[in-house]
Amino acid sequence: MKIIFDSVIYVKILLVCTLLINTDSQAETHFKWPNNAKAAVSLSYDDALDSQLDNALPALIKHNIKATFYLSLTSNTISTRLNEWRALAKLGYELGNHSINHACRGSLPGREWVPAHNDLDKKFFLAIIQEIQTANSFLQAIDGEKLRTFTVPCTDQIVENKNYVHALQDSFIGIKSHVGQPAKNMTTFDRFNAPFMAPSNVTGQALIDYVKQAKKYGTIAHITFHGIGGDHLSVSNKAHSTLLAYLSKNKKDYWVDTYRNISQYLAKSNH
């Protein structure tokens, strides 16, 4: 009788533990996105490139999809096409901060292209902070907005052996900081340390597969483009349009918006 009794107790304990684990798992993975969407998607475009205005923007408008354009303020397009960037902002697109000079660490492998005068390894911590905060002022002069997000140039965060990105959190509502996969649950997602895909020469299906991961976990997918159908680190117009068509067709599943809007929602949700 004792063996039977112990077996019954064991089964009951096992059932309770399983129930608790399942409940905790659901609590971790279930996050309520607007309109009951299954995931959020943040599309962004770095470096203020001509192909973004010429190719990406018309495709986004066609599919009625909002995105963030992270401007490097020394880009030629800031002076030659300033009115287009201002008009883009009036359409509801975010002009994000991508610094003034886009300094990167020249000491890392494959960074022979980094000029000596713009080598992050040779910069001062407080100078970089000042530069990025000044970029916010320039951007406000363009779009009139005070609240915006930041993407780290080259994902390089260390200056004078200190992480300058951590010191910028009070200057932004959200920060995209490193290449990585979508978070597996929202309890571990940090809007000031968001991972993203940085595609180059990929298929539209590869882009779709990336956002599907966020749908699987109920989290958020960030894709950071550079050139679209031209310029550097380019993704073809076909691949880009394939992704936009998929997102447009599946609007019930994906909330696609600027990272500013998504970050504001996350802030209200204590994320």
Q: What confidence tens digit (pLDDT) does each residue in 112-159 have?
A: 999 999 999 999 999 999 999 999 999 999 999 999 999 999 999 999
What's residue 6's pLDDT?
Answer: 52
**Residue span of the structural domain in which 160 resides:** 33-268
pTM of the entire structure?
0.89
Q: Which of 190, 248, 258, 260 is nearest to 219 (CA)?
A: 190
Region 70-76 average pLDDT = 98
**In a shared domain, residues 39 and 25:** no
pLDDT-derived band at 84, boundaries 50, 70, 90: very high
What is the reported pLDDT for 270?
Answer: 87
Checking if the pLDDT of 38 tops 70, the result is yes
Residues 6+ apart with CB under 8 A from 217: 29, 39, 182, 183, 184, 185
| 200, burial (CB in 10 Å: exposed 0-12, middle 13-18, buried 19+) | exposed
Q: How many residues does this entry show for the chain?
A: 271
What are the Cα distances from residue 121, in Å, to 101, 104, 228?
14, 8, 30
CATH number of the domain enclosing 248 = 3.20.20.370
More confident position, 108 or 15: 108
Residues 7, 41, single domain; the answer is no
If asked whether residues 66 and 22 sit together in one domain, one would say no
Rounded to an integer, the average pLDDT of 14-21 is 43
Residues 225, 256: Cα–Cα separation, whole Å: 15
Let me know whether 211 and 165 are in one domain. Answer: yes
pLDDT band at residue 9 using 50, 70 and 90 as cut-offs: very low
User: Same domain for 128 and 219?
Assistant: yes
Instruction: Burial-class residue 4 by CB neighbours within 10 Å (0-12, 13-18, 19+).
Output: exposed
* Structural domains counted in the chain: 2
pLDDT at residue 15 is higher than 80 = no
Q: Are residues 56 and 157 in the same domain?
A: yes
Whether residues 104 and 163 fall in one domain: yes
Residue 80 and residue 18 share a domain: no
Give the pLDDT mean for 5-32.
48
Higher-confidence residue: 25 or 264? 264
Same domain as 66, residue 140:
yes
- In this predicted structure, the answer to whether residue 14 has a pLDDT above a threshold of 50 is no
**pLDDT(193) > 90:** yes
User: Residue 172 has what DSSP assignment?
Assistant: -
Q: Is the pLDDT at 29 greater than 60, yes or no?
A: no
Residue 28 has pLDDT above 90, yes or no: no
Beta-carbon-side half-sphere exposure of residue 98 (alpha carbons within 13 Å)? 25
Distance from C-alpha of 179 to C-alpha of 155, rounded to nearest angstrom: 8
- Report how far residue 89's alpha carbon sits from residue 139's, in angstroms, rounded to the nearest whole number: 10
- pLDDT-derived band at 10 (thresholds 50, 70, 90) equals very low
Regarding whether 203 and 74 lie in a shared domain, the answer is: yes
Average pLDDT rounded to a whole number, residues 225-238: 98
Residues 13-25: what's their mean pLDDT? 42
